[in-house]
Structure 1
Amino acid sequence: MIRRLLFGWQQATLLLLILVVLDLLANYNYLAFHTVVELLRVIVLGGVFVLGWHTRRWSNNSALLVLAIAAGFIGVLELLHALTYKGMGLTFVDSANIPTQLWLGFRYLETLAVLLAALSLGKKVHITGTFLGFLLLTLVFCIAIFTGDFPDAFIEGQGLTPFKIYSEWVMAGVFLITMILFLKDKHYLEKDVRWLIAASLFASALTSLAFTQYADVFDFANKLGHYLLLVSAYLIYRAILVTGLLTPYQLLFVDLKKNQQRLENLIAESTASLRETQALNSAFIDNIPSSISVKDTLNRYTLVNPAFERLVGKAKEKILGRTFHDVLPLKLAQRVTTNLEKIRVDGLPCKTYDEVSFGEKAYSFETIHFPVKDPEGRLLGSGTIATDVTEQKASREHIEHLAHYDPLTGLPNKTYFMQQAQELLEHCQNKTCNCALVYIDLDHFKDVNDSLGHEMGDKFLCVLAKKLELLVANEGLLCRYSGDEFLVLVKDIPSRTFLADFVKNLQQHLAHPVNIDSYDLVTTSSVGISIYPNDGLDFKTLFRNASSAMYAVKTDGRNNYLFFETSMQVEVQERISLLAKLRVALDNQEL
């Protein structure tokens, strides 16, 4: 019954008959054929617009609303396309380019409309915003086309431009993607309606492909494209316009049927549900781990659950009838007073995060305060749901600490350091100040690990890290980059001399002997320095250049510091190139 109503053999026969008549008309007078096809489309679009617009306040079919709003503007551009078509003589336009540009304009709107319609199924549509959006796009297209700012779509003697062809391919792809989205939907449109819309979109995709092939606005590819355009319009007419006018409740607005059935079920079950409500509410409130309480307008407790009793350490009998000032700690009671005043003024729930101490134990709570009203909206009191998030907060803080800090030394790790360094560099850029990246590598630290073991090496590393932390202090940022390497970003440096003195001080303190488990341990350091903005404007460049300077120190004998120079980068590149050539020579047995 539904398929026969939407698209049976009678509709197929009618469509075929229309196409035959139009083909005869096209062979006799192509302009008349083109005008009839476009006007039929405009009529269908107008009908879709009228249907959707006048049912917008009670229809919950978001796809129809989007298509309806867009249809009106698509029809305007398509009518302009028909009136300005080459040879019509109804306007000042007598070229193939402007009507082809108008064609692209309304097809762009159509592509956007069907995509938004598919994506908005089951979602609420902002009617005014959608209307204004399509109105703005229509005006932009009209202004751009008639002022000559729109890209050429057709050039006499040459045919279609690449812009026109690529646009049609893109639109064909979008139509096919949208077709798949509609077919995947199982909730908001009847199956037969979905298939008709999908068939219309498939015909629209073929239309775009056909309109990539013609070289003249009167040739066969152009005519074929208009046949497909008419088929697409007829299918969307059957799927939306006929359905919306003849059987809207049974076919198009599936949600209305579902809501009606749901309402009938609710009415049938209402008596049994009412009998179960009291027991269900009691079970829920008594067993939920969150602390729940309800107070009257005088802030006296009228309901509390066992979790609330355990939290405050009092039985329900000693809580009910008392105010929260009698039950809660003073500071918490003051915060509750502020929150209750807020919800009474706003009439809306509010969420807070509270640190609370009951006895010697501290808690972190995520608390929701909400007004309690009667069916007429009169305020009866307030309610509170407090969820203990102490463990979650501690876990989150622990995870954040692990993500940002080195587990051995407690210093920031390189990921956190890079984030902070980038922020400091941006600050320096805005304030036009200097800063420097100091790359510290401990000399021969591997010898400690190899001779005394990694446990001893770790202890030594922690002592050195603590020294660096005290020395850097407020001068900048510090991190353990990896292994025995550290980075320092020194901020607000007044001069290179200041920076050199700062680095010398670091090296001197690092070189002081350290006694660990009766072993006197000593290490020196190789330090490379790059300065912002001379040696780089971002962290990556500064790090690369500081690294080059540090390796230059190691090459020269270690236990020193060097400022970056351009020649260092050249030496590094030459060394890398030499190593690569040696590797090739070894592989080829040339040595």
Structure 2
Amino acid sequence: MLANLKTYWRCDAWYFLPAVLVFMVAMALPPFPLFEDRASGMLQLHLLLELFAVIVAILIVVVSWHDIKHQSRPESGILLAGFTVVAFVDLVHALTYDGMPRLVTESSTPRAIFFWLAGRTLVLLTLLLVALRLRLQLSRYLWLGIAIVSSAALFWLGTWGMDWVPTTFVTGSGVTTFKRNYEYGLFIGYVVLALLFVYRAGADNRQRSFAFASSCLVMAMGEIVFSNYKAPSDFLNIFGHVFKIVSYAFLYQNVFVLAIRQPYEALRKSEGRFRALTELSVDGYWEQDRNFRFTQVSQSFNGMEMQAMLGRARWELPVLGVSPEQWQAHRAQLERHEPFRDFVYQVEVAPGKVRTLAANGSPLFGEDGEFLGYQGVGRDITEQLAAEKRIEFLAYHDTLTGLPNHRLLQEQFTQLTAQSLYPEARAALLLLDLDNFKGINDILGHDSGDALLREVARRLRAKARDVDVVSRQGGDEFYVLMPGLRHTDDVALLASALMESLQEPVMLGGQEIVTSASMGVAIYPDDGGDLETLRKKADVAMYQAKQAGRNTYRFFDAAMNVEAFEHLSLRNGLHRALERSELALHYQPQFDLSSGVVIGVEALLRWRHPERGLIPPARFIPVAEESGLIVPIGVWVLGEACRQAMAWQREGLPGLTMAVNLSAVQFKRGDVEQSVLRALEESGLSPQLLELELTESILIQNAEGVLASLKRLKQIGVKLSIDDFGTGYSSLSYLKRFDIDKLKIDQSFVRDLGKDEEDAAIVRAVIQMAHSLSLKTIAEGVETEEMVASLCRYGCDEAQGYHFARPMPASEVTEFLRRAVAEPVCTPLNQPA
């Protein structure tokens, strides 16, 4: 309440301050007659003032009657009824004023005062009902009926029932105490009503409530003035009428703002917001007349100048992409005055600039049902359609090369095989895999790798037939689907052409790169009736092409399938072999030929499959290397071998050198150095008792990286040997660079010693070369006494093989070592001369 009073005093009270000043001046002056000749001036002025008040009251009634929201705003009905009666009684008051002509009965001051007090009381009651916000949901005709009945009742009472009304005026004495007290009561009522309006003012109706309060306060001041005049001609009587007119003016202003100005202002703002929204919105607004010509178009509609559209029908614009039949159907729909949705057409908004639009429209009808035209919205869907096409393209194509992906390949395979022109026609699926893509990608970077894939895609499309489907499935794998084949020779010709095209150099990162591909071919329906089956068999054939040396192609056959199944079975089995403890180490003793002492053992990996039994290492080791499983398997082998070597030492056996084979894949994909250090640390084995057997390919590939790791291992005492020496590159340079301790002579050279002079010459040369470089030698695969004698003659240092001992589990090695007797193997008879 206090907050509202402060707001009212600060914002609205100054409106009636002039009335307060006039009131103070009027009350301070002594009473005096305003007109000496009452008949000549007072009656005319009084009638003029009252008529003015009546006109204001009638204006309030008219505005309330036409208030377009009277059904939802109950004060409109209350004001309509209340001020209808007020206008009537004020008019009767003016006509029954003392000195006015006879109206039904004689005019008199008491009768005029009765109608005056009735009018002021009705104003008070009307405004009280407005302040209480009573929800009286009556029609305006009913309100008018109530006003007419009330007016008739008051007229009857003021004309023929004055005997029932207390005396309000005595000639010569002025107004009576009753009249004065009644005026004071009205004064108090108006003040309380003003406070009620201020109290109930809310954020949504503050201005209106404050205006009602001001009207009540002015009316209250008028009542004080009317309670103090002595004669009808006193100037206070005239000033009281002025206060009433001012109060009515406040009411009219309030009702006019509420019923007319505010709605129109709200409509103006709403139209402004609507226009702003239509200009900012992606949906443009338009209107057409009954001849379907544009009468209003928002600027955001289609990019055309608004003036270029006004007065023209849609089909009179530079429209594209709509056939005459479509226009005919659309115009027929408009003639039937039917709504339409998503009418899509194109407009050339500028030379060479075409936009695609989608329009929705609904017909406009007047109150009498007359057709007025159409209104609707239109949206520029050019970017939307482009985005949809892009999304659809990405759903069916590879983002890097733009080639069809697996989804589109599947759909086109289904369509092409279903639409074969000849029953005997066949199709082929070529699977192409680049041979050296990973190396190019790793060395030159991913950008160069992507550029290579795009170039491969371009060359494949250039060489393929128009009916062929070239697809990229991911990575460096491409498919070519050849429908409608009659002869497999066509496939061979295309495969050869593709391989020849791919071998042409390509510039990547400023370097000229030559690449190649391996291809596998599966024939429909011979090798399968669906794409997935053909894909698997083409993959098998492609793998065979890789095995055959790469840069070639292979057709699938049944034998390939058996081999591929075997390969897949081994690969899947290896994934679970470690978890199921199917892998184990066997150890083959290594002997010093001069003393016959067991100086070490070689750890050899074995796989005992639960269903297939013992699988030879030559079968599963290549699979492990290809799949990368050799890395975790190699870590386990290192750890298990070192642990077992320490276990033998704890059992009192002499310290033996543990030889462990390493694969090139372990150096490429794993961290061999850390694996060795971890195995030594966890087992406690001395580094001097660990010997790493390296293949020659390890030393050739990534030589600098391998060299750094091996040097660090050598520094802590780990020994290095070359396995299968003589079967690989056999470069003398890496023997010096890698600080090798021992050369192992491959069993392929040892097997025919004593029978093949060439093998004997190779073995002899290897031993002599090793000794000249201060390296030891060990021969593997020694199985006969004759081999031993030859090795002794050539000066070989160590040997292993079935002649001495077969590979054994750790438990059997323990017993073997306990029973072993050290006897010289190389006697003076077979020592080198």
TM-score normalized with structure 2 length: 0.35
Q: Which has the larger radius of gyration?
A: 2
Q: Hey, which of these two has a bigger chunk of helix by percent?
A: 1
TM-score normalized with structure 1 length: 0.48
The structure with higher relative contact order (CA 8 Å, sep 6+) is 1
